[in-house]
Amino acid sequence: MRKYTLLSSLVLLGSLSLMSACAGGSAESSGSDSSAAHGGASPAPSSETATVDPAKIKGLNVVNDSSNDRSCPWATSYPDVPGAKAMTAAMRADVQGYLDGYLGKDSSGQATACGGAATSNASELPELNISFSMMVASGDVLGVRLLTQNRMGTGDGLTTKTYWYDGAAAKYRTTLDLVADGSRDAFTKAVKDQLKQKEGIDLTLLDQLGASEMDDASFTSGGDLKITFDRGSVGVPAAGRMTVTLPEATVSPWLSDLGKRAQKQTTDPSGTLDLGATSTPAASVPTESATGNDTTDCAEVKCIALTFDDGPAAPETATLLKYLAQYKARVTFFTVGQNVAAHPELVRAEAKAGHEVGNHSWSHPDLTRLTPAQVRQQLERTTAAIKAATGKAPTLFRPPYGAVNAQVKAATTLSPVLWDVDTEDWKYRDSAKVAQTVITKASRNDVVLMHDIHPTSVAAVPEILRTLTDEGFHFVTVSHLRATL
């Protein structure tokens, strides 16, 4: 029996209210829980926090992975920047550590549980979501923040950590390295003095606080230094996340050479990033253009809608576009906002080639676990990125994990799209198996779920296109399939 059908997706159309675009919300908070502000794991920075357009970083590769298991949802993402291999390795190790702990792997590496939780209550299901934001990418300094949300039961489990790369020394650095060795005592005392003035502080935890525990710090556009503490790390959990801001005049004398350069490149960026990479790979962008509108009548011929989630990814999406062009196949891409922001040129190529670009949220959280405001932020921020890349706003969205309810539907006018055939390509990284799943299970007018972030899935596409074309199938977008039935 099929779990998701096109008909059920069509029923979800209509009666959805239009909300204005939202990109607000801050990761920082002073004595209050800010989890509602960042859409479930990808906070938009406050107006005081410096951020970087990832599309300006040459050779940037966003490393994505996720499951499609509604009972054990997880999605991870972090940047891989040319020249910063040591920092990438540090992020990879932390992400893998979080994932192994979440899945409960045994000594052989096999998953034995999902967060150690077993419940039929959707509101108590575990969820792991790791996303990122770029703080500095200029001169010889790179700064990245990872945002990890590990939901266990009803808690939000949000933690943040910043990573730094010093191109001048060709070394990965921690937040502690922003402060000169001889100034760390004064720095720590200043932070503690500010924390003592906040409600909900646990003095026992505060006494134990050292500079090495201050692992989330970033500069504002004015040169101040913000240090953010996870919920429960320096105060009672009810007090939420806490932030200390040290003014530029106070903190500048305490900064190390790296700290001074990081501050300078935040307040007055040079506009180019040079970490000493021996080569910076240029992204391959296909140039195929659609020749007119698709005139396929799915009421008369066999149609199928291939859909690809979680991209765009370099170089996988570019390779996929070339395969699709060879068969004049049109598909629907459900893109993740932070990847659209990193690779708008690939999204433009998708649209130019006649494919449909849909919305798959900003950072792939379970939307049913979010507030209406968070759902709107996740979807509208992604819609804005897609429109900026293609000139056209999407009309469809695919809820991560297929998790959708009345509250999610009421928060957007986008039409939800689920699927008929799940290739489980996220689980089986085997191109032959993926191809056979589609070929043997797909029927007329089906919507097929795949992911263009996996090389094995992309490698399966030529066989799928060749075999199903021989069987008389026509490859169309979801919107075209709906319109012609």
3-state secondary structure of 289: coil
Contact status, residue 230 vs residue 156, Cβ threshold 8 Å: no
**Sign of the CA dihedral with 444 first, then 465, 331, and 368 last:** positive
Q: DSSP assignment, residue 283?
A: P
The CA-based angle 130-126-234, given to 5 degrees, is 65
Model confidence pLDDT, tens digit, residues 140-178: 999 999 999 998 755 568 999 999 999 999 999 999 999
pLDDT at 108: 73
343, 355, 360, 451: the active-site residue: 451
Lowest mean pLDDT among 37-46, 186-195, 249-258, 420-429: 37-46
Three state DSSP letters for 296-334: CCCCCCEEEEEEEECCCCCCHHHHHHHHHHHCCCCCEEE
First-to-final CA distance of the chain? 22
How many angstroms separate the CA atoms of 465 and 112, rounded?
37
**Predicted TM-score of the model (pTM):** 0.87
**Spatial CA neighbour of 234 closest among 220, 249, 261, 215:** 215
How many angstroms separate the CA atoms of 431 and 446, rounded?
20
Give the helix ranges, DSSP H, for 281-423.
316-326, 337-342, 344-352, 372-390, 406-410
166, 177, 215, 309: the active-site residue: 309
Token pair recorded at residue 177: 């390295």
How many angstroms separate the CA atoms of 263 and 241, rounded?
24
Active site residue 480: no
**Spatial CA neighbour of 78 closest among 156, 159, 144:** 144
Half-sphere exposure of 445 (CA within 13 A, CB side): 16
pLDDT at 361: 98
Could you tell me how many residues make up the chain? Answer: 485
pLDDT at 44: 37
How many angstroms separate the CA atoms of 180 and 187, rounded?
9
Active site residue 177: no
Contact status, residue 65 vs residue 75, Cβ threshold 8 Å: yes
- Beta-strand ranges (E) seen in 11-168 are 61-66, 74-80, 127-138, 141-151, 158-166
Q: DSSP assignment, residue 477?
A: -
Residue 34 has pLDDT above 80, yes or no: no
Model confidence pLDDT, tens digit, residues 120-148: 555 567 899 999 999 999 999 999 999 99
